[in-house]
Structure 1
């Protein structure tokens, strides 16, 4: 009997170790691709109602606030692009869309902690007052092949990558349908729309 208990204990430890290793590898891969994973222990009461996006949420999922609260014109363009991409076997998933100010504030705090300063954090996450996600005018699309499809075809729908360091971040620029996408900023800190207003 003690032998089987010991075997179960060893099996559990191996499973836990494998799960921890898998999570570490997933986090490293996500970071390498530029995706940020929220630390669940830091989230507090924030969740889907604040803009957190459940795994494999599509641009058609109106039951998720992060999708439903997007600007209607942006959402219509995304849905048309997603419908056309699906004909080529490409599925769009929303990694982030609309966010509440509280959710954005939390992302900003986490990014400051990760990168060590407000200035460094501003290259990745805007303040709630300047965030285009809080305004519902920006969406992060994944997985990478979907973002790549949008990079090639998005301008035809008015969907444009705005920041060179964020190939997943798209905004609606209707003029791109005729004139092509606008020049990209290196990162959000160079975008005049996301800079803090000085008083």
Structure 2
């Protein structure tokens, strides 16, 4: 996103917020750095089935209820990715246990069995989303960027079949990300 588009989006957001009686927002950018802070007023804030929320959207429970260390790493990565014109969208972050149970039930219906559904959706008891320790990132440019640079922030793709699913692995900053599991059924944490 270029500087002109960023100013247009921020101006539109401030105008909309002003019309809603909100207070003005001031965003300070470090010199020569582009922050990917995006106020996307047309995107629901992390609601089930929504296109996502911005990584700086503290009004979205899916963002605000992430583990603080994961959220910090994600935000630092988003700022640096933004400097390269790549925007992160949290398509799914923290989830309630009820929402996770509903997702699993829907996956069983879609895939025809609990065993096949387990390749894509964890139980509420084992889901890293329910504990706030996992985040799903969209779009493909963002996942491509994270695949190349995420380890520097401790952000690692965990499953081969979910290029969008990232978790914090602090040791990755020094040692690189650990080997990925083919899918969640290979992850020992899913066998609680």
TM-score if structure 1 supplies the norm length?
A: 0.72
1:138 paired residue among 127, 131, 134? 134
Look up the match of 2:114: 118
CA distance in 2, matches of 1:67, 1:135: 12
State whether structure 2 residue 147 is matched by structure 1 residue 151.
Answer: yes
C-alpha spacing 1:161/1:99, structure 2 compared with 1 (3 Å) = same
Segments of structure 1 that go 5 or more residues without pairing to the other structure are 1-46
**Are the aligned partners of 1:59 and 1:79 in contact in 2 as well (CA < 8 Å)?**
yes
Alignment-derived partner of residue 37 in structure 1? none
Q: CA deviation at 1:194?
A: 1.5
Which residue, out of 172, 183, 193, partners 2:189?
193
For 1:177, what is the secondary structure of its paired residue? helix
- Provide the secondary structure at the position in 2 that maps to 1:150: helix
Distance 1:56 1:112, change over 3 A: closer
More helix by share: 1
Aligned alpha-carbon RMSD (Å)? 1.5
The equivalent residue for 2:87 is 91
Task: Using the TM superposition, give the Cα deviation of residue 52 of structure 1 relative to its aligned residue in structure 2, in angstroms.
Answer: 2.7
Structure 1 residue 48: Cα displacement: 6.5
Q: Distance in 2 between matches of 1:179 and 1:73?
A: 18
Please list every run of at least 4 consecutive aligned residues from structure 1 whose deviation after the TM superposition is greater than 6 angstroms.
none
| Deviation by residue 1:53-101 (Cα, 9 ceiling, x = unmatched) | 7434111000000000000000000000000000000000000000000
Q: Unaligned 5+ residue runs, structure 2?
A: 1-43
**Structure 2 partner of 1:12:** none
**Structure 2 partner of 1:103:** 99
Separation in structure 2 between the aligned mates of residue 147 and residue 53 of structure 1, nearest angstrom? 19
Residues 45 and 53, structure 2, Cα contact 8 Å, conserved in 1: no
Q: Is the 8 A contact 1:94 1:142 kept in 2?
A: yes
For residues 130-155 of structure 1, give each alpha carbon's deviation from its aligned partner in whole angstroms, at most 9, with x where no partner exists. 00000000000000110110000000
Whether contact under 8 Å (1:71, 1:137) holds in the other structure is yes
User: Which of 62, 68, 81 is matched with 2:58 structurally?
Assistant: 62
Question: Do 1:53 and 1:96's aligned partners in 2 also have CA atoms closer than 8 Å?
Answer: no
Is 1:72 the counterpart of 2:68 in the alignment? yes
